[in-house]
Structure formats: C-alpha cells, structure tokens
Amino acid sequence: MLASLLTLLLPLFLRRVLQDPTHIGNFVALFLASAVATLAGRAKDQICRVLSVRASSVLSLAIFQKSVRFSNLAHLRSPVGKVLGSSTTDMMLVRNYVLKVHDIWSSPVQLLLIAFMIVRLLGLSGVVAGYVAMSILLFSQTRANAAVGVAVEDYLRIDEVRINHLNSAFQKIRGIKSLGLEPMFLKEIRSAREIQLEALRRRLRVVFCFFISINQMIPAVTAMVSLTSYWYTGHELVPEVVFPALTLFEMTFSPASKFSLSVTRQFSILPCVRRILHILQQTEHRPASHEPGEVPQLSDPSTGNLIHFHDAKVSYPTADDSSTSFVLGPITMGIPANKLTIIHGASGSGKSTVLAAIGGQAEVIEGQLLQKSATMALCTQDPWIMLGSVRDNITFLRSYEPVRYRHVVRLCCLESDIASFPGGDLAIVGESGANLSGGQKARISLARAIYSEADLLLLDDCLAAVDPRVARQLFHECILKLPQTVILVTHQTEFMRYCDHVVSLANGMLAEVGSPEELRKNPHGVIGSILVSETGIYSKDHSDGAKSMKSTSITDSADSKQITLVEEERARGKVDTDLYRFYFECAGGPRFIMLLSLMLFLTVAVRIVNSFWLPWWMGNVLSVSTPTYLTGYALVVMLQAAFIASVGVILVLGTMKASRSIHEGVVTRLFRAPLDFFSGQPLGRVLNRLSVDIDGIDFRLINAGDLLLMAATSLFAAVIVLVWSSPYLLLAFGPIFYFQYRIQSLYRVSARELRRVCSILDSPVLSVITESMASMPTIQTYDARELFEERHRVALSRAIVGITVRYALETWITLRIEMLSVGLLGCAGLLGVFGVLDSSQMGLIFTLSISLSKHMHQFLWSLINVEVEMNSTERLRHYMTRIPVEDDHRSPNSEPEGEIVFSNVTVQYPRSHSPSLRDFSMCIRSGEKVGIIGHSGSGKSTILAALSALAPVVHGRITIRGTPINDLPLTTLRRMVHVLPQDSVLFPGSVRQNLDPQLSHSDDTLLHALSEGGAQADPTNHFTDSSNLLDLVIAPGGTNLSAGQAQLICLARALLASPRILVLDEATSSVDLQTENHIQQVLQEHFRDSIILCVAHRPTSVAWMDRVIVMADGMCVREEGRSGSHADVVDVSSHY
C-alpha cells in the first residue's frame, strides 16, 4: 500500500519540482518518494513470492500425504492424472494467485486516489463520466470471467483424462507394443487432447481477444469520456488541463488491468480449489475392513486365530453406483496365528479378495473382519519393484543388517542373480523392475516380505512366476520354515499337504476349510480328493525335497539387462534461432508471421496517431471543430482496440496450431520409442514433459509473447514520437537503454539456466507421485507412507529451492532497473537544484526516465520472459525430434505365412554387459506348436521379444517364410505375432473396449470369445452376467480383476484377433489347472493352423506341444539332441 500511495503522489512532487527547480526540499521529497516507492514495492513482491511458494509447498505436501493414504475408492475417484494435475498445474495457478492476491483490493484504492487527483483538474462531473465508462468496460468482463472459469475447469478435467491415458499406456508400454495397440491408445489420447484444446481455445479467445483489448482501451476511453464531459459542461480544453489529465488517465491502465486480471484469477482459481478439496476430502485407507468405529481386536488369545471373518461379505469399491463389482461371501472362517495357510480356488473365486480385505484394499460390506494388531507384508501377483538398487528393494523400510540380509537372499534363491548383476545388489533396477525377469521380481518381492519380519505375510501367488524347481525350493526352504503367520495363495496343489491350514474357495463362497488332515478325511471334497490322490503339479514324493534341492543353481543372468538411469538432458547457453523457427513453423509458418507482422505494423501506426492526436487537437493543426477531434479520437481508440484484438486472434490461432502439432509430435514419437528408452527413464520424467511443459506451450508462452508484442509496439511508438518531437533526446535515451540492457543481460543468462534447472527438478517430484500411486497396495500394507513422504519431501524441497531462487532473481532485476530510473531522476533533480537545467529540460528528462524507461524495461523483461518460457518448447522439441525410435523404414509387404527361422541370433540390450540370447538358431514349421522352458532369466522371453522386434538383434536374423522381419513394417509384424504376456495388458475402460479396440465385432461375437476363452466359466461373479459383462469398467491397473480374470480377457482378445503366430508368455500362470486345461483345448481347436510359441514354467502348459526346447544361459541346451519331444524333456528333469 505504501508503494502504491507514493507512486500516485509522484506527479504532485514532480509538479512542485518543476515549479521551483532550485528548491532542494522539493527535490529531496521527489527522490525519496521514488526510492521508497521502489523499495517498498519490491519488498512487497518478494514477500508475496515467498508466501506463494510456501502456500504451494504446503498444499503439495498435503496432496501427496493424502494420496498415499487413499482408500481403494479414493484411488478410483482421484487417479494419478488428478493428483499429478493438482501437483503441477494447480500449484502454478496457486502461486500466481497468491503472488497477485493484493491486487483485488489495492487496485480499486489506487483508482480512487487517481480519481481524487483528476477531480482537481476536471471537476467532479468529468471524473464521474470517465469512471462510469471505465466501470462499464470492467464489468463487461464479468460474464467473460465466468466463461474463463468454465474453460479452465474443462481444461483441467480433460487434462486428468489425458494424463491417465498416458500413464496407463506407458505403464504397459511393452505389452502395448507387442500387441500393436499404439493406434488405439493414440486415438484415445488425441481425442482427449482435442477436447482439451477446445477448452483452451475458449480460454485464450476471451483472455487475449477480449480482455487485453478492453484493458488497453480503458485509459483512452476514460480520458475521452471525461474530456468530452468536461468540454460539454462549458470548460475549455487547454494544454494546461489536458496533458496533466492524460498523464493521470494513463496511470489508470496499471490498476485497472490488475483489477481486471485479479477478478479473472478469482474465477480461474475456483476449479483448482475444487480439485484440491476433492482430493483432500477423499476417504483414507484403513488397516482392515470393519464395521463403523474402531478396528475391533480379538480379546481371547485362546482362539489361536490372528484373523477371523464372521459372516463377511467383501467387495471392491466402484467409482460410481452404476458399476458392478465382484462380491465374496458371506464367509465365516479363521486364519490361525503363526501358521501357514494356503488359499486355493479357481480363477476369479475370490482368493486375492481375501488378501485385499485383510490388507484394507477391499471393503467388508456386511459382517465383520476381526483382526489382531499385526504388522503386514505383501507380495502381489504383479510384484512391485521400486526404482533403486536391489538392496534398497529388499531392505525397504528396515536398516541394512548384513548377516540377516545374506540369509534372506539365500532363502529366496537370489545369490546367483545378484552375483550376475553388474554392481551386485547395488545395481539399479528400473521402475517396476523393467530390467528384471518375472521370476526375479517375484523373488525380490518375497525377499522384501521376509526381511521385513512382519507378523503377517500375504503372498498372492508369488510362486507362479518361477519355474517348478525354484518354486519347490522357495516353498520348502523358505516359506514352510517361516515362524510368522503366512497366507499363501497358489494354484500349485502339491504344497497343500505341507501347510497347517487350507481354505478352498469356489464361486465366491467358502467351499472347504480346515487342516490337511481334516480335509483328507473327506475324499469327495475338492481338497480331500487332491490330498488323497496326491495329484498336484507333481505327484512324486517330496518328503526330502528340501535336501535334494539345496545345491540347485537357481538362475543365470542371460535375461537381465543392466539399467543405467539416463540423466535428464539439459540445454545450455542461449536459445538458438532454430528453436524459434521450429515454433513458428508449428504455429503456421510464413503465413502466421506475415499476418502477425501486418497487425503489429497497424497497431504501431495507430499508437503513433493516438500519441499525436491530442497535440494536433490542442494546436488545431487539422483546423476542424472540437466534436470532430473528439470523434476522431474515439475512432483512433476503437481502431487501436480492434488491431490489438486482431493480434490476439492471430496469436490464439498460432498457439492452438503449435500446441496441437507439438503434442501430436511428442506423443507419436514416444509411442515409436524403443523399450530401452522407457527402461532408462522414470515415468514421472516423461509425464513432466507431457503435463508441465505442455501447459507451458498452451498458456504461459502465449502470455509472454503477447506481453512482448504489446511492450514492443508501445516502445516503438514512443521512440518514433520522441524522434519526431525532439531528436536530440536520443542522446539521453541511448545510455538508459544501454544500462538497462547490460543489467538485464546478466539476468537473462541466469533466468534461462535456472528455468532449465527447475524443469529438471520437477521430474523427481512427479516420479515419486507416479511410483507411489502405482504401488499403493504395497505401500499401505507395509505402512511405508513415511518412506515415500520423505522421498517426496526431499524432491519437493529441491524443486522449491529452484523456484525460490528464480523469484528472488526476478526481484533482483526489477529493483535494479527501477533504481536506475530513480538514479536518473535524482541526477536530473540535482542539475536543476544547481541551475544547470531549467524546468522544461527537467520535465523532458523526468518524462524520459519515467515513461521511456518503463517501456524499455517492459520490453526487455518480456523479451527475456519469452526466452525463458521457450524452455518448454525446447524440452518438448527434444522428445519430438531427438529421442530414438524403432526402425520402421520398411517397405509395405503382405503378411507372409509359413515357417519361422532364427539364424544364429544374438540379442544384447543397450547398456548390458552380456548378451541375453547367444547364437540362437531354431526352425519352427508352419502350424507347429513349440514349448520353451528354462529357469528364470534363461532367455525365454527374449526369444519372443526378438520375434516381435522388441529386442535389439545385434547378430543373425529372423525370417518368416524367408522374409526377414526387418523388412516387415512393425504394424504388420506385430499384427501377425499376437502376444499374450505374463503381465496382462488391460487399460481403463469397458471390457468391450479392451476386447475390441476398433469396435469391429458384434456383442454376440465378443461374448462368444469370452465364453470360449473361459472368462464366463464362473457362474457367480460379474464375469457371467452377459447383460453387463461387456460394459464392466476395468479400473486403472485392472485392480478390480484377479490376475487370472485379466489373463482370460486377454485370451479372448487373442481369439478375436485370430493371429497367424500366437505367443504365450506365461499366459496361464495365474489360472487354475482346470481353467488351463480348458484354455489348452480352445487353443488346439481355434489355432490348429497357427504357429504357437509357449513360454511356461508348468510342464502341463507345454505337455500338448509338438516340441519343447530347454533354454539356459541364453542358449538352447540339449542332452541327447538339440530339441526333443515333451517326453524326452521330462526325462531331463534337471531343466525343470
């Protein structure tokens, strides 16, 4: 307030100085008022900047702390796109709002003070008329402000959808590429982007085509109406009145514009506040589902149960009431403490739901879940691996204890794996374990659970991802000997007779429960029949199994890729002209530049006429009447507003085109990037480009560009008027420009590099958010919130330091530029005091120091701001033009049919020290079914990846009926080779969209494929209700489906595709034996003439194959032949 008051008093002090230049008191008052106004204004700015950073930091921390406490329902209602949007776009809007929050009240006060001074010149009638006109212009923006608020809300809402699509795609990028689903995801992303651009267009159109032109008109319209009223009331328009009045009216531009923008910010901030409140008001995760009130504890330890379900019905929450969800129960059963419990049942029977209820991810909607206080550890079906070293993933929340650590590593069969990693257990594993095999991820996850020493271990089918010998060793040597309470979900029935307690589920209900001895007494029961006949995956006696397997070599390193996290690139030095050329080409090229230049030329011309019009009027240069001058002045004002609006229209059109083009180029390039690019990039880094930087080119860049163009036209017009009126004043203008340029040159370098650093510092913050949202069940079960909160706090603190320094730098440059003007004013005042300058010369210098210095400062500031904001374009251009892409410069070719030949193929991943596939040769005849077995990491999946051109073949070649796969377009190749991966590729949307992305099949066809694939085999869950099955919404990450159900949907998609080459990569590892037998029958009938390659750990999965090959150390091994029948391979039991 002090700065505003002193700034408004400057004309009064200036008038006194000009009346008596030699009076030192007037000079001292003017100088001190200018200096104090500058210091107070910049102090206020710095305080607001610090407060804005603090406000956004507190909100960012609150949002993240809430997100890691989300319940399952909250996670559905506030997915990663919403949390990321609130942590980036919303926080920028919050900082901007706090930074300018005082304008809402200080601007009207300044306008009233200016009105008070105008009254002394024009009287009350002139001021009232002018301010009424100003009020009309300002309040005409009210409805437009509401439109801006709606546009901002629509933009943010669709941005959430877009980010969710991008996150889902890049989380499953391997499966998407192998299935050739890039066009489907690109279509969804483009659709969301087009809706978002429409909301952006509405926002930009109002702001840059309406608000700015209206705000530019306010001083001139207010002056015109006031002077007209003054003239009509009988007063004479003389220079002594007109020019001081015009100076005061010109002073209304800043507070009027600030008030207009502050009102706009009120409407813009509301959607952000609503979104932040929506997140902060979400329900939180509780350790276990229960009735309302505190979690009940079992008070009678004699029961021997750690957990007890009492008439409990369990269900997953849905995002809306119209969606259906699987319901388990009612069930009544206990889980004994310090015992091993195995849960068995068909796919989709509710096994994972039991664990989810205990862990708090599913809700008990009826009955009770009673649970003693216990720490928990979790191994999910899709093991979560955090970005970090192997040791960090195992120790997790615990301190590193070498003896216990080595013991756990040995128990989990990880010794040879760790020995094979460059760097040992300190080797970095990529986000989600990108460089690990499925078996390695499962064993690291199990090691984490055991190292945690939790009271309760929830193991959800953790043995399915490893080969049978490793599974037996893990069970007998590790799981069976654990002293804690262990709940193991598994389809491998051979282990049941060793456990203490068995729970059998069927059709979402409890079928059998009891000890193996009790259930054996009922040979007609499912479990009893299994135990009596001892028919599991293996029927041989394992009474001494543990001893026989102690010396087994568990794995090798063939499939392991060393991950080196790629350091995020950062440009250095000045922004090159090629970047501006790139942006202008995206914005429309020469046509855009020509139209913009024409409108700018006309704007400058009208500004010059506007500057000369009143002097012509006062001198009656045109020899016309006063009404004619008033009419001409009104016309000039309207033309100026029209040309400024035209500049806004051109900028909006160019921005829309550039934003669409750059976003399309970046996203398309990312989908063409090789898998190795994603393994070396944290997902948060990629999403940072597609959120913060996209927001930069959508709004911040056009805002900086518009300010630059307005400042440039104002400065150019002022210089022309100055040269025309008093050419010799250029001698004074030169030094001012030079000193300002030198000071701002120092600032430009620092500001540009600091913005680049700040963009890089944002990436770790977003990486923590995406990683935590993807691993919510594990974080909540381990109660690891504090670990991730600390990681987020550290990353956010570093980002805040960058923002704080950037804000301090802005205060630094503004203070020095304004003090330069104050110094010039002081020098002129001293020369006046000593009689060197007369009052007219001092007036010119004062005008020069205040007006031209202001224009120069605004121009140079805007120029630097544009260069700084080009950082977003610079970062996006790197992704658009410089990241590697898959080689697809191949001539169109028809899909060849016939044999597949691997000829001396060697595969080595970038940054890997050894090949994953070594001199591998194999011929697969047309229609042949080939099984591929081997230990985890032996190179099985690499064969399949090489066939789909997902792995780099450094030597040899792969042909399909004589045609090298390198000669086939990727889309053609991946349409021919349909992959069913171990990690099911499902995306948020309906079952119909997942089955038939192109919507080319009828509902009957889709339902038949689901039924044929076994997805409708369970008559009680939501998979069987044909009326709503296709409309069932799959949650992000498929969290409302079991792993088996997800794989069955993927199988149905393969049946619809009817590919010529079908690849099964552990595709049935999460289904029970009965469902697997059904699937095998379907595959044999439906794909009779197709080639099938099947990677599996279960012998039953490859028993029906024509041939089976055994992989070890990246090579095909043999005992009595390079390959043989399945019976031959069974005899070679060491390879199983």
Instruction: Supply the DSSP string of 560-594, one letter for each residue.
Output: -----PPPPP---SSPPHHHHHHHHHHHTTHHHHH
Task: Outline which parts of the chain fall under CATH 1.20.1560.10.
Answer: 2-283+588-881
Q: Is 384 exposed, middle or buried (0-12, 13-18, 19+ CB in 10 A)?
A: buried
Q: Is 11 exposed, middle or buried (0-12, 13-18, 19+ CB in 10 A)?
A: middle
Q: What is the average per-residue pLDDT within 861-867?
A: 90
> In the structure encoding, which two tokens stand for residue 657, read together?
């085109």
**pLDDT at residue 562 above 60?**
no
255 and 110 in contact (C-beta within 8 Å)?
Answer: yes
pLDDT in the model for residue 113: 85
pLDDT in the model for residue 564: 57
Distance, in Å, from the CA atom of 457 to the CA atom of 275, rounded to the nearest integer, reads 37
Q: Is 469 exposed, middle or buried (0-12, 13-18, 19+ CB in 10 A)?
A: buried
1013 and 1055 in contact (C-beta within 8 Å)?
Answer: yes
Can you spell out the DSSP letters for 430-473?
Answer: PTTSTTS-HHHHHHHHHHHHHHTT-SEEEEESTTTTS-HHHHHH
Rg (Cα) of the chain, in Å, rounded?
36
Q: Are β-strands 929-934 and 900-907 bridged in parallel, bridged antiparallel, or unpaired? A: unpaired
> In the structure encoding, which two tokens stand for residue 941, read together?
């999946």
8 and 118 in contact (C-beta within 8 Å)?
Answer: no
Within 13 Å of residue 91, how many CA atoms lie on the same side as its CB? 28
Neighbours of 105 (CB within 10 A): 11
Neighbours of 999 (CB within 10 A): 9
385 and 436 in contact (C-beta within 8 Å)?
Answer: yes
- Can you name the residues that pair with 929 across neighbouring β-strands? 1092
The residues near 265 (Cβ < 8 Å, ≥ 6 apart) are 96, 97, 100
1081 and 903 in contact (C-beta within 8 Å)?
Answer: no
Distance, in Å, from the CA atom of 952 to the CA atom of 975, rounded to the nearest integer, reads 19
> In the structure encoding, which two tokens stand for residue 554, read together?
């568990």
Q: Which of 504, 500, 468 is nearest to 485 (CA)?
A: 500
**pLDDT at residue 1019 above 50?**
no
Q: Is 220 exposed, middle or buried (0-12, 13-18, 19+ CB in 10 A)?
A: buried
Q: Which residue has the higher pLDDT, 767 or 346?
A: 767
Q: Which of 141-150, 919-928, 981-990 has the lowest mean pLDDT?
A: 981-990
Distance, in Å, from the CA atom of 423 to the CA atom of 466, rounded to the nearest integer, reads 24
**pLDDT at residue 648 above 50?**
yes
- Can you name the residues that pair with 923 across neighbouring β-strands? 901
| Confidence bin at 546 (pLDDT 50/70/90) | very low
pLDDT in the model for residue 868: 92
Q: What is the average per-residue pLDDT within 56-83?
A: 91
Q: What is the DSSP letter of 70?
A: B
Average predicted confidence (pLDDT) for the chain: 83
The residues near 547 (Cβ < 8 Å, ≥ 6 apart) are none
pLDDT in the model for residue 179: 83
Tell me the C-alpha to C-alpha distance, in Å, between residue 827 and each of 820, 832, 849: 11, 9, 11
Listed ranges 32-41, 445-454, 1110-1119; the one with the highest mean pLDDT = 445-454
Distance, in Å, from the CA atom of 940 to the CA atom of 736, rounded to the nearest integer, reads 72
pLDDT in the model for residue 303: 54
Place of tokens 């490859």: 1102
| Confidence bin at 877 (pLDDT 50/70/90) | very high
1078 and 1095 in contact (C-beta within 8 Å)?
Answer: no
**pLDDT at residue 1136 above 50?**
no
> In the structure encoding, which two tokens stand for residue 400, read together?
């590193």
Provide the whole-model pTM.
0.86
Distance, in Å, from the CA atom of 1097 to the CA atom of 1066, rounded to the nearest integer, reads 7
Distance, in Å, from the CA atom of 540 to the CA atom of 1056, rounded to the nearest integer, reads 39
pLDDT in the model for residue 532: 73
The residues near 380 (Cβ < 8 Å, ≥ 6 apart) are 445, 460, 777, 778
**pLDDT at residue 902 above 80?**
yes
**pLDDT at residue 1031 above 70?**
yes
Place of tokens 């460059």: 422
Phi/psi of residue 1116, nearest 5 degrees = -85, 120
Distance, in Å, from the CA atom of 994 to the CA atom of 67, rounded to the nearest integer, reads 28
pLDDT in the model for residue 1035: 73
Q: Which of 654, 496, 677, 639 is nearest to 585 (CA)?
A: 654
The helix (H) or strand (E) run that includes residue 846 is helix 839-847
73 and 365 in contact (C-beta within 8 Å)?
Answer: no
Q: Which residue has the higher pLDDT, 155 or 839?
A: 155
Q: What is the DSSP letter of 948?
A: T
Q: What is the average per-residue pLDDT within 859-869?
A: 89
| Confidence bin at 1135 (pLDDT 50/70/90) | very low
CATH superfamily of 2-283+588-881: ABC transporter type 1, transmembrane domain (1.20.1560.10)
Listed ranges 190-194, 511-515, 968-972; the one with the highest mean pLDDT = 190-194
What's the angle, vertex CA 90, arms to CA 88 and CA 93, rounded to 5?
Answer: 110
pLDDT in the model for residue 57: 95
pLDDT in the model for residue 729: 60
> In the structure encoding, which two tokens stand for residue 401, read together?
């204890």
How many percent of the chain have pLDDT more than 70?
Answer: 87
Q: Is the peptide bond before 330 cis (omega within 30 degrees of 0)?
A: yes
Sign, CA dihedral 60-62-68-74, equals negative
Q: Which CATH number fits domain 336-352+375-548: 3.40.50.300, 3.40.50.620, 1.20.1090.10, 3.40.50.10190?
A: 3.40.50.300
Q: Is 727 exposed, middle or buried (0-12, 13-18, 19+ CB in 10 A)?
A: exposed
Q: Which of 23, 27, 29 is nearest to 9 (CA)?
A: 29
| Confidence bin at 976 (pLDDT 50/70/90) | confident
Q: Which of 262-266, 783-787, 817-821, 1039-1043 has the lowest mean pLDDT?
A: 1039-1043
Place of tokens 């909540």: 780
Distance, in Å, from the CA atom of 247 to the CA atom of 240, rounded to the nearest integer, reads 12
pLDDT in the model for residue 253: 84
The helix (H) or strand (E) run that includes residue 1010 is helix 1003-1013
**pLDDT at residue 847 above 50?**
yes
Strands (E), 385-452: 388-389, 428-429
For domain 900-1135, give the CATH number: 3.40.50.300
Q: What is the average per-residue pLDDT within 1065-1069?
A: 80
Neighbours of 1058 (CB within 10 A): 11
980 and 1057 in contact (C-beta within 8 Å)?
Answer: no
**pLDDT at residue 892 above 70?**
no
Q: What is the DSSP letter of 1134?
A: G
Task: Outline which parts of the chain fall under CATH 3.40.50.300.
Answer: 336-352+375-548, 900-1135
Q: What is the DSSP letter of 1032?
A: P
Can you spell out the DSSP letters for 233-300?
Answer: TT----HHHHHHHHHHHHHTHHHHHHHHHHHHHHHHHHHHHHHHHHHHTS-B--SS--SSSSPP----
Distance, in Å, from the CA atom of 81 to the CA atom of 89, rounded to the nearest integer, reads 11
How confident is the model over 663-680, as pLDDT tens digits? 999 999 999 998 888 877
- Can you name the residues that pair with 906 across neighbouring β-strands? 955
Q: Which of 824, 950, 959, 978 is nearest to 888 (CA)?
A: 950
**pLDDT at residue 608 above 90?**
no
Distance, in Å, from the CA atom of 334 to the CA atom of 310, rounded to the nearest integer, reads 9
371 and 354 in contact (C-beta within 8 Å)?
Answer: no
> In the structure encoding, which two tokens stand for residue 67, read together?
């997100």
| Confidence bin at 1072 (pLDDT 50/70/90) | confident
The helix (H) or strand (E) run that includes residue 80 is helix 80-87
